[in-house]
Chains A and B, each alone.
Chain A
Amino acid sequence: EVQLVESGGGLVQPGRSLKLSCAASGFTFSNYYMAWVRQAPKKGLEWVATISTSGSRTYYPDSVKGRFTISRDNAKSSLYLQMNSLKSEDTATYYCARHGATRVPNWFAYWGQGTLVTVSS
């Protein structure tokens, strides 16, 4: 059974940093692109980042480019999101997701339960 378990969320002040983690199990982690998707309170879903199987390619929307960094450790089956220069508009539940097919960044086939990040002074 595929499982994705996020951790690392919490309350952080504007301008500070936070690092999220996602522990994956139930599949061959190194074969799949991985992603982070977020949802601000009472809002819709927003894709935040995607990383290739080896970690050599990363993709971001303009809203987080230059501030967020996605990374992975295939030996530990773990995904990370380093978030710097946090803003109040980054307040959201952050979901770890696995892309659907091997070696292709297509649909989000599996999702974690999410971890809440609150950016506030």
Chain B
Amino acid sequence: DIQMTQSPSSLPASLGERVTISCRASQGISNNLNWYQQKPDGTIKPLIYYTSNLQSGVPSRFSGSGSGTDYSLTISSLEPEDFAMYYCQQDASFPYTFGAGTKLELK
């Protein structure tokens, strides 16, 4: 199974700040890496698929990059609604696996 390691697990940040969340796969996943946002009420919103493609309706302040085993999600300027949990997920091979999550919280 491919293990996904996310960092940091917690990220205090301020409004307007630029932040980056990292995700490392235990083996190469050929850009098959996706990002999701989860709000406290449980609602899950897909953000980015195949490393850098924005899901329809996702603001352009979100971006993704990476290759091989190392990937990242960047939010260019934090808005109040961005404070949430973020998960990476690989769909290179079954079983599909998620990272443990990053809690983005207000500093």
- Interface stretch among A11-19, A40-48, A69-77, A80-88? A40-48
Expressed in whole angstroms, the Cα–Cα distance for A61 and B96 within the complex equals: 8
Q: Return chain A residues, CB-CB under 8 Å to B98.
A: 44-47
Are B87's CB and A100's CB within 8 A? no
- Chain B's closest residue to A61 (CB) is B95
User: Is there contact, CB below 8 Å, between A110 and B99?
Assistant: no
| Chain B interface residue count, Cβ-Cβ cutoff 8 angstroms | 24
Q: Is the CB of B60 closer than 8 A to any CB of chain A? A: no
B97 in the interface, Cβ–Cβ < 8 Å?
Answer: yes
The distance in angstroms between the C-alpha atoms of A109 and B58, with both chains bound, is: 12
* Chain A positions within 8 Å of B59 at CB level: none
A95 at the interface (CB under 8 A from B): yes
Say whether A3 faces chain B, with CB atoms less than 8 Å apart.
no
Q: Is the CB of B91 within 8 A of A110?
A: no
The distance in angstroms between the C-alpha atoms of A60 and B71, with both chains bound, is 25
A47→B34 CA distance, assembly (Å): 13
Chain A residues, Cβ within 8 Å of B43: 111, 113
- Interface assignment of A7: CB less than 8 Å from any CB of chain B: no
User: 9 closest pairs, A vs B, by CB?
Assistant: A61-B95, A107-B49, A107-B34, A47-B96, A111-B44, A45-B98, A59-B94, A44-B101, A44-B100
**Chain B positions near chain A (C-beta within 8 angstroms):** 1, 32, 34, 36, 38, 42-46, 49-50, 55, 87, 89, 91, 94-101
Chain A positions within 8 Å of B, measured between CB atoms, are 39, 44-47, 50, 59-62, 93, 95, 100, 105-111, 113-114
